[in-house]
Amino acid sequence: MMIRKRTLHILNGQAMYNFFKRTNFLEQELMVPFNEAMCYGETYKDLFSNEFIEIRAMVHHVTPMQYSETVLKPLVPLFSEKFPHIALWFDADMFCQINILTLLAWLDQADYTGTIDLNIVGDQFVPISHLTLRAKGYYANYKHVLIDKKMPENIHPDPLKKGVELYLNYLNNDSDLMMYILKYRDVPEEELMLALLKEFKHYGLGDTQYFEIIRSIRQND
């Protein structure tokens, strides 16, 4: 009898995790959610260190303990076990791509030598494309992009490159998102947030991030 090699499936957030559980997708497989929004707020070069946790907790307006419970506790298998194969399940939008970059950077920093399958999903979390990667060069890319806010010379695959381009631009005053928020400065917050969710799906941001962006623009307006 052949012993099956164990795979760790890392999913983009609790909603995807709950959906996969409910629909028995990847049944019998080990799944964990990555409950972060790395495209929003400051971060730190040493991934998942105490300094990183403190900074990210401030971004999310929670205590370091609450952050650890929500973000790090589900990832314990990733931190504590050796898996020959890791599968990532993420959307193509900017939000997901920056989360992917963060995970690949950690795997690179941890000298992970196994195979990584990246599954890009569409509506209803249906897989639309599949790539195989190695965890090489992504930690340098993470520092370039999230710490230095610069475009790396080489970054692949294409969805990740596109996500990074959007990330480096979306909070600039001349981005399509910022121009839209300024154009509709008299629209009530809630109404504008719903319009942004519909209009800017390629960013993948949620209501929490949009409310913060709207408020920061209107305070400085």
Residue in 54, 40, 18, 29 with CA at minimum distance from that of residue 171: 40
pLDDT in the model for residue 74: 98
Q: Is the dihedral of CA 131, 132, 138, 141 positive or negative?
A: negative
Query: Is residue 53 a contact partner of residue 65, using CB atoms and an 8 Å limit?
Result: no
Q: For residue range 171-208, what is the model confidence (pLDDT) as tens digits?
A: 999 999 999 999 999 999 999 999 999 999 999 999 99
Query: Is residue 142 a contact partner of residue 105, using CB atoms and an 8 Å limit?
Result: yes
Name the pLDDT band for 151 (thresholds 50, 70, 90).
Answer: very high
DSSP-derived letter for residue 69 is: I
Q: Does the pLDDT at position 1 exceed 50?
A: no
CA 143 from centre of chain = 15
pLDDT in the model for residue 3: 44
Which pTM value belongs to this model? 0.94
pLDDT in the model for residue 2: 42
* Domain ranges, ordered by start, for the chain: 7-151, 170-220
Q: For residue range 31-43, what is the model confidence (pLDDT) as tens digits?
A: 999 999 999 999 9
Mean pLDDT across 91-109:
97
Cα angle at 95 between 109 and 24, to 5 degrees? 90
Percent share of the chain, pLDDT over 90:
93
Q: For residue range 73-88, what is the model confidence (pLDDT) as tens digits?
A: 999 999 999 999 999 9
Query: Is residue 101 a contact partner of residue 141, using CB atoms and an 8 Å limit?
Result: yes
CA 43/CA 49 separation, integer angstroms = 11
